[in-house]
């Protein structure tokens, strides 16, 4: 594990993004960062599902790991007379939290398989075991993504990223940031352009916070200035994460990713996506079939900032409405490669088909 070294009070401590202890899920409240560091204790699957929905917990891999924990909670909460109906209702509740994130459904499917045809006592043990296994896999896969992706990074490399696909978003190590963290451990000097990532500012708030804790040189830039730096030849490489990858290589990621990919292509800059196999939707034919989550318009109309305390401030006229798609789809033709725990692959249907077969073998 990498874990993040965080200053809490006068002490520095190591943390993963979330963990399960007994039947309680513990997680860093990502909504409060970077202004306040708080661990939340989620004692029921209802609380954990709501934490995923309201983005206390966010990021593809972290959603997957915590969804697995939530499913285990749903099983543990059952009585003999309620089994398995109550657990299945819990799984459905968890599934309805974030429609675009493939890792959410990956985790639910894994827990379902682990408890199939089991009596309640056996199912409780199996669900806990599988949830912890999924959590460990995210940690290991993030490190492997870092190891493979670091080969793309030369000493002195300037990298553009979008949103937060780091330690907070993949439970441990990260996806898009993992190669950067690994490169640092190989003593390579790296500079990161951090897209602010409107409207929730996950880049400015979360990615910058992670990089600061890692002592990696970086600068936050407005989303619409990325092209400026690309045009000036100041960006060598783009690496982003993913929330769902279709079987043809199309990628759904945080809104604004598509724009960066098109600009990178126009300026001759290699654009990579970093994601574990759990983010691939092998049954999804193309990006056109990926459901795109629409979030509340207040995320666009207001900003959350800090002045003595956290405050939400409206930045638009009171009569104005807003549209707020949380993700967009980047066609495979703009993507140089996808960095996975099995290496860097081309975003092609034939390559991803082979990866699907490998995924089945890994699960057996």
Task: Evaluate whether 181 touches 174 at the Cβ level (below 8 Å).
Answer: yes
Q: How far apart are CA 283 and CA 352, in angstroms?
A: 11
> For residue 36, with 0-12 CB atoms within 10 Å meaning exposed, 13-18 middle and 19 or more buried, which class applies?
exposed
Active-site residue (options: 103, 172, 195, 243): 243
From 252, 251, 223, 212, select the one nearest 336 (Cα to Cα): 251
From 311, 215, 219, select the one nearest 7 (Cα to Cα): 215
Q: How far apart are CA 57 and CA 26, in angstroms?
A: 10
Reading the block at residue 297, the tokens are 């318009």
Please name the helix (run of DSSP H) or strand (run of DSSP E) that holds residue 245, with its range, or none.
strand 244-246
Q: How far apart are CA 123 and CA 102, in angstroms?
A: 24
Residue 328 known to be catalytic: no
Query: End-to-end CA distance of the chain, in Å?
Result: 24
Q: How far apart are CA 276 and CA 297, in angstroms?
A: 31
In DSSP notation, 65-116 reads HHHHHHHHHHHHT--GGGTTHHHHHHHHHHHTS-SS-HHHHHHHHHHHHHHT
From 250, 258, 253, select the one nearest 287 (Cα to Cα): 250
What's the Cα-to-Cα distance from 142 to each of 102, 179, 278, 297, rounded to whole Å?
Answer: 16, 9, 12, 33
**Residues with a known catalytic role:** 243
């Amino acid at each position: 594990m990498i874990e993040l070294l965080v200053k809490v009070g006068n002490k520095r401590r190591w943390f993963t993004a979330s963990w399960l202890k007994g039947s309680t899920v513990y997680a860093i409240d990502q909504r409060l960062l970077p202004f306040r560091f708080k661990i939340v204790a989620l004692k029921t699957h209802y609380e954990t599902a709501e934490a995923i929905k309201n983005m206390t917990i966010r990021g593809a891999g972290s959603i997957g790991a915590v969804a697995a924990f939530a499913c285990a909670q749903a099983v543990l909460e059952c009585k003999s007379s309620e089994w398995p109906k109550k657990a299945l209702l819990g799984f459905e509740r968890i599934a309805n939290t974030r429609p675009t994130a493939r890792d959410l459904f990956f985790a639910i499917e894994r827990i379902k398989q682990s408890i199939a045809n089991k009596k309640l006592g056996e199912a409780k043990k199996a669900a806990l075991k599988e949830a912890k296994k999924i959590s460990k896999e995210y940690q290991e896969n993030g490190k492997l993504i870092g190891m493979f992706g670091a080969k793309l990074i030369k000493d002195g490399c300037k990298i553009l990223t979008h949103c937060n696909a780091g330690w907070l978003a993949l439970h441990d190590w990260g996806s898009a940031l993992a190669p950067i963290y690994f490169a640092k451990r190989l003593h390579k000097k790296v500079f990161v352009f951090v897209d602010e990532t409107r409207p929730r500012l996950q880049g400015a708030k979360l990615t910058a916070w992670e990089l600061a804790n890692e002592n990696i040189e970086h600068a936050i830039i407005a989303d619409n200035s990325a092209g400026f730096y690309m045009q000036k030849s100041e960006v060598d490489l783009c690496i982003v994460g993913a929330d769902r990858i279709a079987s043809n290589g199309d990628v759904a990621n945080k809104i604004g990713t598509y724009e960066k990919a098109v600009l990178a292509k126009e300026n001759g800059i290699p654009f990579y996506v970093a994601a574990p196999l759990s983010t691939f939707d092998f049954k999804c034919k193309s990006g056109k079939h990926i459901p795109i989550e629409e979030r509340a318009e207040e995320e666009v109309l207001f900003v959350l900032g800090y002045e003595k305390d956290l405050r939400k401030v409206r930045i638009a006229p009171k009569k104005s409405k807003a549209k707020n798609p949380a993700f967009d789809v980047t066609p495979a033709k703009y993507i140089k490669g996808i960095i996975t725990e099995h290496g860097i692959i081309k975003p092609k249907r034939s390559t991803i088909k082979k990866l699907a077969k490998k995924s089945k073998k890994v699960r057996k």
